[in-house]
Structure 1
Amino acid sequence: MSEKEELISKGAEASRKQAGMVNKAMQSRASSTSPIPNLNFLDFQRKIILITEDIKKQRKSSFLMKMKNTLTSSGSSFDGKSHMDGSLLAKTSKKPGLDAIVSEVAKDPTSTTARVKLIRTLMQDQRQYHLQYYKDLMIQASLPVYLGNITPASLQVASQTYRIYLRQLIAEHKKKLLIVRSSQLKNVNIDMIPVESLIQVDPDQPIGEEEAKIILETKLALKLLDFSRSLDSEIRANITMPLSMDEIDHLSPRHGAVMEFLGNKELGSTYNKHQLIIRKAIAVMDIVKHIPFLHSLGLKMADKLEEVERKTPGPFLMEGRIHMQAMKLLTLRMMMDEYTAKNALTPTFKKVVVAYRKALKRTSLSDPHRTDIPVLGEFALVSYYSFQHRKVMRLTNQGVLEMLKLGKKAVDAATLVNRQYSKLQMQILTAISSLEHVQKPPSSSN
C-alpha cells in the first residue's frame, strides 16, 4: 500500500471511529427521549397547533367566556395562554413599548399586523437570553401563519426567527463545548475557535451522552442554517400578496354549493381569481417546505388544494416536496449516525412516493407539456433516490425496480422536452440493469 493510500485508509478509519463514538453515546439515551430535543420540530408544531386552537376557541367564545379566560390562568405546561397574547416574551424582554403591543394582541389574538409588530419589536432587542426565549419567539412568529393569515411579513418573521433560533442554538452549544474542552484549549483564544472545529471528535477519546447530543444538534443546526440562507430573498421575490386559508376554503365545491343554495353565488369567483389563489398557495408551500415547523401547515394547505384541484398535479407535487424535505432531514440525521431517525425513514418515504405518484398520474407521459416537467423530473429523482437508499430504508429490490421502471417512463418523457435530464436517464437505466441482474438465490433441490 502506498503512503497516500495508507493515509486515506487511516482517515476513513478515524472517521468511522468518530461516528461510532457519537452513535454509541446517543444509543445510551432512553428510547422515549428525543436525541435532538432542541430540534424536535414535531413537538414544536404540536405546541403551535395547541395555541392556535386556543386562540380560535377564544375568538368564537362569548364575551363572558372571554372574561373568564382572562381572569383564570389555567393553561398547559408550556404556558399557551401567555403565548396567545405574547406576554410570555414581553415579560422577559421588557423592551419599551411592548406592553401596548401585547394589549393590542390580547384584544385580537388573530391580528396578523399586531403580532408581526410584536415579533419585530422583540427581534430588535439585542440583549442575550436563554435558548428557551428564542424557541418561544419562533413559536410566537409562527402563529399568524398557522392562524391562516399568510402575508409576506408573517412568513418573513417566521423565517427570520427560525434562523435566529438556529444561530442561538449553535452559539449556546459552542459555549458548552468550550467548557467541556477547556482542558484541551489552554493558552488558546477561544473566541477565534470556529464551532466546526469543536464538533470534531477525537476517535480515541470517549464522549459522554450530553456532549454527543450537543455535537449532533450543532451539526444539524449548521446544516439547517445553510439550507435556509436564501429564505429571506425567496420570500421577497415570490410572496408578494397575502393569502388567507379562507380563500382556499371558498374554492371548495362544498362552499360553492352552499353559496349557490343560499342564492349568494359569488360573482367574483371567476377562473382568473381561482387560478390566482392556487398560484399564491403553491408559492407559499414552496417556502414553507424549507421551514420544518411549518410543514404541518403546508400539508394542510396541500390537502385543501387537492380537494379543489383534483385533476391537476400541482397540489400533489407540493405535498411530495414537503414530505421530501422531511425525508432529507431524516437522511441527514442518519448520515450523522443518529439512530432514532431510521425508524421514520421508510414511512416518510412512502408518503413521498404516494404524493408523487398521484402527481404523475395527472401528467402526460406520451405528450408532456412544459408544465409537466417538474413532476416528471422530480418523480424520476425520487425513483433513483429509492435505489440509492434502498438498504437503509429496507426496501425490497422488486419494489425499487418497479419504482425505477416508472421513473424511467417519467424521465424519458421529461427528456423529450428538456435534454438536461439525459444524465438522470442514464443513471436510472444503469440502476434498472443492476437490479435486473441481481443473482437470484439458487433454488433448493429436493
Structure 2
Amino acid sequence: DVDDDYDEDENVHDIKSAKTEIQIAEALIENCEIIIQNVKTRMTSSISHEEIEELTIEGKAHSSFFSGEVEKVNPNKQNMIISKAVQAIEMLRQIPLLQSAGLNLAKQLARIDNKLTYPLVMEGRIQMQALKYQMLRIECGDRSARENMAPVFNLAVVAYRKALKLTSKSTPKKSDLPVLTEFGNLTHYGYIHRDLMRFTEEGVKTLVKLGKDSVDAAVTVDDSFVPLQKRLESSLTQLSKDEEEASLKVRFR
C-alpha cells in the first residue's frame, strides 16, 4: 500500500512537471517567428572559428612562429569579424539551448583583445536573457527556477562590472553607452525582483547606487537616458524609505 501511494504521488508530480514544461514550450514557440525573422534579416554572413582564431593573440603568435614576424591584421577585417561574431551572439542568446554556445563565442571574442568591452557586454546580455528564461519558468509554475535567479543574475553583474572597469565614468565616450546603460538597467531589474535575488538591504542599495552612477555618466553623453536615471533615483529613495520604516518598527517593538 505504501508503494502504491508513493507511485501515485510520483505520477502526480510528473504530470505537473509535464504540464509546466508544455506551458514553457508554448511560450517559447510564440517567440519563434520573431527569432526566425531576425535570423533571416540580420545574419547576412557566416563566421568560422578560424576567423576569430586568426585575430587572437595565440593565432598571431602561431603565425609569427612560422613566418618569423607577427602578422598585422587589417583593421577593417578585424572589425568585420567582430561585427559578425556580435551578430551571431545576438541570435544565439535568444535561444535557451544555444546560450552556452553564445557564451563560448563571447569568450573567444575576448581573446582578440582583453581591452574590448564587446565580449563582456555580450556575455552580460546572454546572462540577462537566461535570467528572463528562468523568470518565464517561474511564471509557468516551475518553483525550482526561483533558486536559479540569484546565481544567473550574479553572473550578469560580474560580466558588466568587468566591462565597467574598461570604461571611464569621468570622461565617457559614446562607445561606452552600452556598458553604462545596460548595467543601469540590470541594477534596476535586480531592484524590481529583489525578493528573488537574495540581497541584503545594504547589498541591493549598493548595487542600485552603482547603477545610478553609471547612468549619471551616460547622461552626460546622451540625455535620452534621463528616464532611466530617474527610475534609479526613485528606487534609491524607496529603499531609503523602506530602511527607515524597518528601523522604526524595530524601535517601537
Q: TM-score range by the shorter chain?
A: 0.7 to 0.9
Q: Which amino acid aligns with 1:353?
A: V
Q: Does 1:250 align with 2:54?
A: yes
2:52·2:109 contact (CA, 8 Å) conserved in 1? yes
Deviation, 1:286, is 0.5
Q: Which runs of 4 or more aligned residues in structure 1 lie more than 6 Å from their structure 2 counterparts after TM superposition?
A: none
Partner of 1:309: helix, strand, or coil?
coil
2:34 aligns with one of 223, 230, 234: 230
Unpaired segments ≥5 residues, structure 2: 1-8
1:367 corresponding residue in structure 2: 171
2:220 aligns with one of 405, 413, 416: 416
1:313 corresponding residue in structure 2: 117
1:429 corresponding residue in structure 2: 233
1:228·1:290 contact (CA, 8 Å) conserved in 2? no
Q: Does 1:209 align with 2:22?
A: no
Partner of 1:365: helix, strand, or coil?
coil
2:143 corresponding residue in structure 1: 339
Q: CA RMSD in A?
A: 2.3
Unpaired segments ≥5 residues, structure 1: 1-27, 31-207
Would the alpha carbon gap of residues 345 and 268 (structure 1) be closer, same or farther in structure 2, given more than 3 Å must change? same
Partner of 2:111: helix, strand, or coil?
helix
Q: Does 1:278 align with 2:62?
A: no
Distance 2:33 2:223 in 1: 30
Higher helix share: 2
1:295·1:322 contact (CA, 8 Å) conserved in 2? yes
Partner of 1:242: helix, strand, or coil?
coil
Aligned residue pairs total 240
Structure (1 or 2) with the larger CA radius of gyration: 1
Partner of 1:262: helix, strand, or coil?
helix
Give the 5 Å matches for 1:79-158: none
Distance 1:267 1:257 in 2: 9
1:259-287 per-residue CA deviation (whole Å, 9 max, x = no partner) reads 11221657572122112111111110011
1:325 corresponding residue in structure 2: 129
2:4 corresponding residue in structure 1: none
Deviation, 1:244, is 0.4
2:63·2:71 contact (CA, 8 Å) conserved in 1? no
Distance 2:217 2:95 in 1: 32
1:137 corresponding residue in structure 2: none
Deviation, 1:388, is 1.1
Q: Does 1:301 align with 2:105?
A: yes
Distance 2:191 2:122 in 1: 22
Distance 1:266 1:428 in 2: 48
Would the alpha carbon gap of residues 264 and 278 (structure 1) be closer, same or farther in structure 2, given more than 3 Å must change? farther
2:204 corresponding residue in structure 1: 400
Partner of 1:417: helix, strand, or coil?
coil
Would the alpha carbon gap of residues 225 and 340 (structure 1) be closer, same or farther in structure 2, given more than 3 Å must change? same
1:283-335 per-residue CA deviation (whole Å, 9 max, x = no partner) reads 10011001111111111111111122211211000001111111111112122
Partner of 2:84: helix, strand, or coil?
helix
Deviates more, 1:221-230 or 1:276-285: 221-230
Would the alpha carbon gap of residues 232 and 335 (structure 1) be closer, same or farther in structure 2, given more than 3 Å must change? closer
Would the alpha carbon gap of residues 211 and 357 (structure 1) be closer, same or farther in structure 2, given more than 3 Å must change? same
